[in-house]
């Protein structure tokens, strides 16, 4: 009997997931099938970028032309699910129709909004409420920030209404089209590969380089803008960061077996502190809803966060920035992604196995599925160890630290002239 009830309850929960998938599929189809789009376009006529309503009459029409038909299709498909599943059950025959009951909430809300029932919009249309965003786009559920991107970032992405599962599956949980992406370490193999893949995804990449190595001539052919900066002088490019949507921190140095004082200073300055200063400068550009919804930082912290890299100072410095990003995520107004990359062939890693081009392709594909911790490696243990490490560390920081009153919860001063000089002398061939 207990097993029968477990099956019945499981199928009832699946009925909710089913109707949500129907809604998201209907929404996706409405952007590609003209008859449906003629109805759905009313929904996109309603809101200004601050999510205030353009016109109450248009808002009411949008409910009858888009929301009510959408909920009606959900109700019909929910009923078909219950009718199909019910014969399999020996108990709880009504449970497979839970998706229908769930759908009636959306249908009733849409009808109430269409009839201009007082406060129906504020009580039932939660993803369109105006006002400042209080959090970045959510990863599992659709919040206001996530849905704003469908209206004002890209109408060919962010289709989901409650759960973001379908967007993740289709690779529409993050649109890179039209976004300006600045990539540090652009002279290195991975930096070059990332710029090519980002451009293929519709982004406008900017190559940031702080080393003396020449950039490939292909950047000129591709129309990639090159911006040079210096480690320790990050503030000099603060104005440039204002116009960037995604900052990809990829620069680094690997001193290999060297453990001298100079090597220690160089490793931490380039792999950790310069990245931190760029991150904080970029966060200062987040001043409105549009920035919260569109801006992101991707940080290449490396597999060295959890596994040996046969280079102690590389591991220590990468772990330092990795832990700082984990801590900063607790208060960040925007999405911070980590790139947990295994051994790929580059000047920094003589033990590389994977090609930089293949790694870059995976990074971009997983980012479009809104993966916040992008793991690309040949080591299966990393896929187990890193999520455990990240979750436990995050909860530890949450329990034993608290945000400051300042919007910048941590502050680093600019490095001394000594360290800046160190960061620009030896190992220039390793600096990307």
Taken in order 368, 370, 374, 377, the sign of the CA dihedral is negative
CB 266 within 8 A of CB 422: yes
Separation CA 143–CA 244 (nearest Å): 24
3-state secondary structure 301-339: CCHHHCCCCCCHHHHHHHHHHHHHHHHHHCCCCCEEEEE
Q: Which residues contact 189 (CB under 8 A, 6 or more apart)?
A: 344, 345, 346, 347, 356
- Select from 352, 322, 332 the least CA-distant residue to 145: 332
Residue identified by tokens 């803008």 is: 225
Separation CA 186–CA 291 (nearest Å): 24
Strand bridging mode 296-300 / 246-249: parallel
Separation CA 4–CA 91 (nearest Å): 7
At 352, list the tokens.
């590389």
Let me know if 314 is a catalytic residue.
Answer: yes
DSSP annotation of 271? I
CB atoms within 10 A of CB 138: 15
Find the catalytic residue in 26, 146, 314, 383.
314
CB 356 within 8 A of CB 193: yes
CB atoms within 10 A of CB 129: 11
The residues that are catalytic are: 314
């Amino acid at each position: 009997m207990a097993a029968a009830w477990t099956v019945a309850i499981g199928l009832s929960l699946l009925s909710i997931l089913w109707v949500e998938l129907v809604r998201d599929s209907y929404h996706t189809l409405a952007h590609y099938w003209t008859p449906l789009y003629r109805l759905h376009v009313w929904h996109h006529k309603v809101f200004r970028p601050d999510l205030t309503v353009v016109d109450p009459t248009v808002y009411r029409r949008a409910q009858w032309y888009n929301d009510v038909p959408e909920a009606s299709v959900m109700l019909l498909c929910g009923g078909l699910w219950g009718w199909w599943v019910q014969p399999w059950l020996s108990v709880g025959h009504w449970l497979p129709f839970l998706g229908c009951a769930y759908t009636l909430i959306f249908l009733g809300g849409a009808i109430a909004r269409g009839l201009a029932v007082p406060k129906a919009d504020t009580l039932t249309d939660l993803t369109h409420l105006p006002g400042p965003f209080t959090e970045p786009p959510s990863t599992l559920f659709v919040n206001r920030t996530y849905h704003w991107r469908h209206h004002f970032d890209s109408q060919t992405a962010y289709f989901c209404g409650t759960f973001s599962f379908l967007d993740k599956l289709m690779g529409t949980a993050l649109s890179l089209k039209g976004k300006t992406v600045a990539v540090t370490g652009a002279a290195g193999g991975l930096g070059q590969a990332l710029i090519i893949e980002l451009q293929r995804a519709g982004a406008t990449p900017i190559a940031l380089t702080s080393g003396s190595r020449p950039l490939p001539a292909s950047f000129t052919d591709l129309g990639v803008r090159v911006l040079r900066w210096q480690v320790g002088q990050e503030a000099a490019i603060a104005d440039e960061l204002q116009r960037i949507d995604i900052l990809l921190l990829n620069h680094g140095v690997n001193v290999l077996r060297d453990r001298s004082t100079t090597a220690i200073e160089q490793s931490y300055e380039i792999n950790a502190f310069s990245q931190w200063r760029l991150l904080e400068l970029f966060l200062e550009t987040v001043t409105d809803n549009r920035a919260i919804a569109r801006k992101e930082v991707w940080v290449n912290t490396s597999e060295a966060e959890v596994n040996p890299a046969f280079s102690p100072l590389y591991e220590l410095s990468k772990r330092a920035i990795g832990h700082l990003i984990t801590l900063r995520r607790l208060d960040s107004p925007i999405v911070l992604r980590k790139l947990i990359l295994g051994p790929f062939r580059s000047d920094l890693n003589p033990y590389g196995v994977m090609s930089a081009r293949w790694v870059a392709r995976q990074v971009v594909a997983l980012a479009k599925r809104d993966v916040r911790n992008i793991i690309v490696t040949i080591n299966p243990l990393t896929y187990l160890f890193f999520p455990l490490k990240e979750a436990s560390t995050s909860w530890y920081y949450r329990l034993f630290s608290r945000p400051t009153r300042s919007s910048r919860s941590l502050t680093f001063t600019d490095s001394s002239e000594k360290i800046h000089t160190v960061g620009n002398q030896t190992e220039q061939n390793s600096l990307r």
